[in-house]
Structure 1
């Protein structure tokens, strides 16, 4: 019986090793979608396989409701110079935009972008928001760079789906020279896993930290020490135990030095990837089954072991990525380009 059990275990191991190898070796292709009129897209929110919103420079927003075959491009009135780097969408009709820079404007549409309403304004000197995210359909958050000299990060909360916002003090003070990057609107994660909340955010600059649940604060082994370096994007598996942080130095796009770290213990500790992505990366997303995809100006990479090893998908780079809820489609957007990857 003992021999039979060992044989069964070996067979099980061989089967899954073969399955993983076959799956990993299938060549993934980035399919190009139509060329957008937006010079730089850094905001993305994927509602489902059909509905995706994107946003960026020139006050512009894009929406597809047919899986990327056709796009509707629009400008938010009286915001022609806005750079909408933070975006969160609830449906094909309802979405929120938040610009990077001062003054800060948080806009909402409830009719698919035909009209927009101002939901929050901040004229504080130096205000700079980096990300907006929701825990559920009602509870949302926006995070921004610390305002000198009190080192308090800009922080907004909503409890009514984004209709009203309140400024609050973030529970962690920034270190000297520490900030966030508005590179892809993905430096903050919030979601439910059963009855538990999985959350975290990352910072960069002179100091780069992971700030997780219940004051789990860790200085990362990722490259840091200057304004162009640090952690740019965070992705966590659904239970939060495994996660990946990417970044690097945006002034040196092909530098792979400590540009990616991973965790297997819910962010308590982080390790540098054994085989790194191909350069500075502005966005990482969790796909499924320990699969993560990351992208940046110099290329796009995939990991099948939760960030330990990475392999190149393409030299084509983007700023931001998003994943459909069914975990089959990865959407990509960057400088005047849109793409999609469909997983087997």
Structure 2
């Protein structure tokens, strides 16, 4: 080999090495920047009970609900919390909560008998507005369009009819319109893992995720629950512990669902899917979260956060690619819509404030 050819060969070799180092450096810096965009600030536990219900009203007012009839609330952005156990319901596990302000809120419990409770005085007193003593009663999720029209989704009865309670008077009375929904498949139900299996978008769209059956589904209504479409989705399914555990939409077209298998928290295959046509079709995330995820929340501008028992993941591209940013485990996460402040909550009172920088 001539001196000229040898020199040219060495220059090209060094160029390739430098390109590899540069690419590795850029990927590293990208990952660092990604993780530094969210700050997770652990708080001192307010209660030793387990929490799954969470509602963020605004930067100051946050409610949470959990086991042993426990309700906690802050009105100053987490500087202090009130512990407000509901008397007479100490044996209930309140899996979901929704609040309008620091005074008015609703909670639902898992299991039978099933209750919907309402407070108008900040959680000091609660009123029963719905009760179901049937053996199969199990409520998963509660939510409202504004402050008048509300829905509660629950597991199916013996005739494979899902429970779908509707209120048109601000939650004072409830009617079961579950027969409007498609029939449940064998073993199919909802997961009350984070109170986010059902989501709404104005003016009239509702999405509900299911699991436990042979195929997980998204049930979709565009007319306030009167008629429904059923869409099978490519998330992990086929066992009682698998399916969709949480769904969220940033608008009428773009949304994300997460789940997996809660008995295999580190198994990441098919744990997240996304849609760009309002939930009519779904695609598997190109880079999934690092395992089973029980909750996903929309933040802003195609940005989502997902939590599970083994960590927190972050997506900036509408749920196509996920980046693990923490190994802290939580059940539920909620953000102020189009804001930069959220909260996460989990077992033994584990609580964190999350800030998007």
Same fold, judged at TM 0.5 (above):
yes
- Contact 1:262 1:270 (C-alpha < 8 Å) held by counterparts: yes
Report SS of the residue matched to 2:68: coil
Give the one of 138, 142, 146 matched to 2:156. Answer: 146
Indicate the RMSD between aligned Cα atoms, in angstroms.
1.6
CA displacement 1:59-81 (0-9 Å, x = unmatched): 00000000011100011110001
How far residue 164 of structure 1 moved from its aligned partner, in angstroms, is 1.4
Give the one of 272, 277, 293 matched to 1:281. Answer: 293
The match for 2:57 is 47
Counterparts of 1:44 and 1:28, CA distance in 2: 19
- Contact 1:136 1:191 (C-alpha < 8 Å) held by counterparts: no
How far residue 24 of structure 1 moved from its aligned partner, in angstroms, is 4.1
How far residue 27 of structure 1 moved from its aligned partner, in angstroms, is 3.9
Determine which structure has more spread, i.e. the larger CA radius of gyration: 2
Quick check: 1:68 aligned with 2:78? Answer: yes
The match for 2:229 is 216
Quick check: 1:333 aligned with 2:345? Answer: yes
How far residue 308 of structure 1 moved from its aligned partner, in angstroms, is 0.4
1:253-292 alignment, distance < 5 Å: 253-292=265-304
- Contact 2:150 2:171 (C-alpha < 8 Å) held by counterparts: yes
CA displacement 1:240-271 (0-9 Å, x = unmatched): 21111000000000100111111111111101
Counterparts of 1:325 and 1:243, CA distance in 2: 14
* 213-222 or 280-289, larger mean C-alpha shift: 213-222
Counterparts of 1:210 and 1:326, CA distance in 2: 25
Counterparts of 1:289 and 1:106, CA distance in 2: 34
- Count of aligned pairs between the two proteins: 320
The match for 2:313 is 301
How far residue 43 of structure 1 moved from its aligned partner, in angstroms, is 0.3
Please give the TM-score of this superposition, normalised by the length of structure 1. Answer: 0.90
- Contact 1:38 1:60 (C-alpha < 8 Å) held by counterparts: no
- Contact 1:38 1:58 (C-alpha < 8 Å) held by counterparts: no
How far residue 155 of structure 1 moved from its aligned partner, in angstroms, is 1.7
- Contact 2:201 2:252 (C-alpha < 8 Å) held by counterparts: no
1:172-191 alignment, distance < 5 Å: 172-191=182-201
How far residue 22 of structure 1 moved from its aligned partner, in angstroms, is 10
Counterparts of 2:266 and 2:239, CA distance in 1: 17
1:226-245 alignment, distance < 5 Å: 226-237=239-250, 239-245=251-257
Counterparts of 1:332 and 1:89, CA distance in 2: 16
Unaligned 5+ segments in structure 1 are 1-19
Report SS of the residue matched to 2:307: strand
Counterparts of 1:198 and 1:332, CA distance in 2: 26
Counterparts of 1:70 and 1:64, CA distance in 2: 6
Counterparts of 2:266 and 2:322, CA distance in 1: 15
* 321-330 or 202-211, larger mean C-alpha shift: 321-330
Unaligned 5+ segments in structure 2 are 1-29, 223-227
Quick check: 1:98 aligned with 2:98? Answer: no
How far residue 168 of structure 1 moved from its aligned partner, in angstroms, is 2.3
How far residue 34 of structure 1 moved from its aligned partner, in angstroms, is 2.2
The match for 2:27 is none
The match for 1:246 is 258
- Contact 1:254 1:280 (C-alpha < 8 Å) held by counterparts: yes
Counterparts of 1:310 and 1:142, CA distance in 2: 30
The match for 2:66 is 56
Quick check: 1:167 aligned with 2:172? Answer: no
- Contact 1:49 1:325 (C-alpha < 8 Å) held by counterparts: no
CA displacement 1:310-336 (0-9 Å, x = unmatched): 001100010001111451112100012
- Contact 1:134 1:191 (C-alpha < 8 Å) held by counterparts: no
How far residue 21 of structure 1 moved from its aligned partner, in angstroms, is 9.8
- Contact 1:42 1:333 (C-alpha < 8 Å) held by counterparts: yes
Quick check: 1:199 aligned with 2:206? Answer: yes
